[in-house]
Amino acid sequence: KAGVTQTPRYLIKTRGQQVTLSCSPISGHRSVSWYQQTPGQGLQFLFEYFSETQRNKGNFPGRFSGRQFSNSRSEMNVSTLELGDSALYLCASSLPGPNQPQHFGDGTRLSIL
């Protein structure tokens, strides 16, 4: 069974640009969550999508947005990039429900110059 696939693995952008990251969940998983990992703040929840609807959102500015498609694939977008957005962005998929273990992809490492 294929795992969670995130593309691209690495990305370099400059301040002010925007970026789109992609996540393909495990087959059959309709819940997709995104997390940001930085050395200073650790792992922080960005948002969760289920059946193309955002169910939960973390404490991030509106520059961070996402969406989910009918095939459960998800994208997240960050606009007007700032230096502080440099991070590892992790996508996780699972069956719905807080008791379900989430399965993570390898992440996209975003560097802002």
- Distance, CA of 3 to CA of 10 (rounded, Å): 18
Q: Which residues contact 59 (CB under 8 A, 6 or more apart)?
A: 44
Site for other proteins in 40-79 (CB under 8 A): 42-45, 48, 50, 55-56, 58
CB of 47 to other proteins, least distance (A): 9
CB of 93 to other proteins, least distance (A): 9
Half-sphere exposure of 112 (CA within 13 A, CB side): 17
The residue (of 8 and 96) whose beta carbon lies closer to other proteins is 96
Q: Which of 69, 46, 41, 44 is nearest to 56 (CA)?
A: 46
Binding site for other proteins (CB under 8 A): 31, 33, 35, 42-45, 48, 50, 55-56, 58, 88, 90, 92, 94, 96-107, 109
